[in-house]
Structure 1
Amino acid sequence: MQAAEVVAERGFENTRFTDVAGRTGASISTLQYLFGNREDLVVQALRTRTAHLLAEARTAAGAIADPIERLRWVAGHLAATDGSPDAARAEWMLWVEYWRTALRDDELATESIGTYDGWASLVRDAIRAAVDAGLIAEPADIDAVAQGACALADGLGVQIALRRPGITWERATAMTRAWLAVTLNCPALIES
């Protein structure tokens, strides 16, 4: 996790063994032994952190019994997992590095598609729970709605990473919830 923080701060190209060793307390020789080269260290850090974020989200969403509250939480969590602006930006910087790296690494590209599908299934599962509870009508294309919510949140996340004025994690959360509320005809998603 600490290695991923270094990647988010410094970027793929500027992350060195020295930086990761300084953050983690591991020796450079240990990191070289474990990962072989700097690129593999960075890719593994990105893989581990993104998988951890998805697993955390699945656990947290699964613990929310009320289907509308679960859907509200998932919509908000897509935009940012932490209320602090610095933490939200750091998380989105990590995702941007993950995607940038995946564009040049076929194996990571395949994995990133799987990760993205995992986030879409988180949304789809939350929608399905609300449909099954009779709280919303089933959308004609539940996969398109789930993918759309993820795409919206990702676009807003890039804006958070860029520090675009007016696009805070709170605003991104509200916009993602509002989009789902309109798409699913469920005003309760935007009510607090």
Structure 2
Amino acid sequence: MRRASRNRADLLMQAAEVVAERGFENTRFTDVAGRTGASISTLQYLFGNREDLVVQALRTRTAHLLAEARTAAEAITDPIERLRWVAGHLAATDGSPDAARAEWMLWVEYWRTALRDDELATESINTYDGWASLVRDAIHAAVAAGVLAEPSDIDAVAQGACALADGLGVQIALRRPGLTWERAAAMTRAWLSVTLNCPALADH
């Protein structure tokens, strides 16, 4: 049973890559079959129709990204470095420019799909709150360590950081000239540095 579940999860993770490349409307069973090596009949048996496959793929991949980020953030013991890492990670995961763009293409498709799917729309709010909580938790840790003054509205700071990173991410997906994921990460850290009056958060 665990083996079947693991295979299903692997299929969804790979299917999400296809969705990021081709978009919701253009992702077909044949595309996912070609990427995963699974037969079309197997995909139909596991997921029913094409739309359910795409939605489940987006849900699985985005949940994985958040869980992965939370685990990595909680492993960083220095509170300032943790906050710097979270701020940069909001803009894009560490990787190549192509990997950063592919990730943001995935998020664009996730948001577009959520606009048409009420259940996913509700989940997307929880997902967004999950990313904001990474920022809130990192700020709380820095305040508790005595290296940061507590802001008057932590929720506003956390949501503002996410909103900034999301806007930059769309520009990365659009291949805005001169905007690399490293630059986006630095801009997000700089914004938090000014907002929290903590110069150590900015790149030097």
Q: Same fold (TM over 0.5)?
A: yes
For structure 2, the 5+ residue unaligned runs are 1-12
Does structure 1 retain, via aligned residues, the 8 Å contact 2:87–2:185?
Answer: yes
Tell me the CA shift for residue 83 of structure 1: 2.6
The root-mean-square deviation of aligned C-alpha atoms, in Å, is 0.7
Match of 2:10 in 1: none
Tell me the CA shift for residue 191 of structure 1: 3.7
Alpha-carbon distance between aligned partners in 2 of 1:168 and 1:108, rounded to the nearest angstrom: 29
Does structure 1 retain, via aligned residues, the 8 Å contact 2:90–2:162?
Answer: yes
TM-score scaled by structure 2?
0.93
Q: Choose from 24, 40, 51 the match for 1:28.
A: 40
Alpha-carbon distance between aligned partners in 2 of 1:144 and 1:33, rounded to the nearest angstrom: 45
Tell me the CA shift for residue 89 of structure 1: 0.1
What CA deviation, in whole Å up to 9, does each residue of 1:93-144 have, x standing for no partner? 0000000000010000000000000000011000110011011110000000
Alpha-carbon distance between aligned partners in 2 of 1:31 and 1:187, rounded to the nearest angstrom: 51
- Alignment of 1:127 with 2:157, yes or no, is no
Q: Choose from 47, 63, 70 the match for 1:58.
A: 70
TM-score scaled by structure 1?
0.99
Alpha-carbon distance between aligned partners in 2 of 1:26 and 1:77, rounded to the nearest angstrom: 33
Alpha-carbon distance between aligned partners in 1 of 2:156 and 2:124, rounded to the nearest angstrom: 18
Tell me the CA shift for residue 190 of structure 1: 1.1
- Alignment of 1:136 with 2:148, yes or no, is yes
Percent identity between matched residues is: 93
Q: Which moved more, 1:78-87 or 1:51-60?
A: 78-87
Alpha-carbon distance between aligned partners in 1 of 2:57 and 2:203, rounded to the nearest angstrom: 37
Alpha-carbon distance between aligned partners in 1 of 2:151 and 2:94, rounded to the nearest angstrom: 29
